Amino acid sequence: SATEFNTDGDVTGPRLQGLGLLKFAEYMREKKPDWNYSMSMYQFRDRGRLGLEIEDSNNQNVGIEQPLMDDYKTLLYDPYFQPGSEVIEKIYDRKTAKESSNIDKCIKNTKLRWGGAEDAEGLRFKIKLKEKPEFFDMAFPEDMNLMIEVNGIWFYKRPGVRVIDAMPAFFRKDAKPVAPGEEITVTVFAPPADGENPVTDKADWATNYRTKMTGSLGFRIRYEACGSIV
């Protein structure tokens, strides 16, 4: 069964709307009730003040971010509410920028399982960076549907796409700072491309989607731009 918890910004005002959410999360963290298995913010945009955004009265396709958005992001990055996942860990360590600029083959035919955002088996790479990169690209098998986390920032790769530019993981405001010589993680998961598990001969096909890496996976990491600004 599901229960709805609601704070209406038309009653509380936009700045206090997230307070109830944060207090409820604090209760969940401290009491750890056995009746709660998951929690989600189901309303992204609303014409009133129930969502993370309110609809722009001038354009229904545009949303105006509310303070509740920052409160919700705070919970998303709270370790207690982070999805749990079993990860096959691999080490990817390059000593110099020149070596790091090559596309390297690795982890072909590794089995991946997707049971949901809180129950998945994927790949994790540890990459030691010489310094903050100027370019950070990832190459994947074109036919795969993947979710990739780099330095705490998530990226999506749909089937047909080969290369993902992951530089936002280093310049976005919510990206983790990277110091010279620091190690970052890259985590890869493979949910079903159309959102539905295909019927297979596995007894748990309805709850678990299984696939494997169909080709090589590589990184292009560079620490210097080709040109300079004078």
**Chain mean position to CA 199:** 27
Q: What is the pLDDT of residues 87-111, one digit of tens each?
A: 544 444 434 333 433 334 446 678 8
Angle at the Cα of 226 from the Cα atoms of 225 and 230, rounded to 5 degrees: 80
Please list the residue range(s) of the chain that carry CATH number 2.60.120.
86-222
Query: Which residue type sits at 104?
Result: D
From first to last of its 230 residues, what are the pLDDT tens digits of the chain? 667 777 788 888 888 888 888 888 888 888 888 887 667 777 788 888 888 898 888 898 899 988 888 888 888 778 777 765 455 444 444 343 334 333 344 466 788 899 887 788 888 888 889 888 889 999 988 889 999 999 989 999 999 999 999 999 998 888 888 898 899 989 999 999 988 888 888 888 999 999 988 877 788 888 877 654 44
Among residues 86, 87, 92, 88, the alpha carbon closest in space to that of 138 is found at 92
pTM: 0.61
Instruction: Decide: 144 and 211 in contact? Cβ < 8 Å.
Output: yes
Among residues 115, 132, 214, the alpha carbon closest in space to that of 166 is found at 132
**DSSP, residue by residue, 188-218:** EE---TTSSPPP-SSTTTTT-EEEE--S--E
pLDDT at 57: 85
pLDDT at 3: 73
Domain 86-222: assigned CATH number: 2.60.120
**φ, ψ of residue 121 in degrees (nearest 5):** -120, 125
Distance from C-alpha of 151 to C-alpha of 133, rounded to nearest angstrom: 12
Counting every residue written for the chain, the total comes to 230
Among residues 220, 166, 207, 221, the alpha carbon closest in space to that of 188 is found at 166
Q: What is the pLDDT of residues 165-189, one digit of tens each?
A: 999 999 888 888 889 889 998 999 9
Among residues 153, 8, 4, the alpha carbon closest in space to that of 66 is found at 8
pLDDT at 220: 87
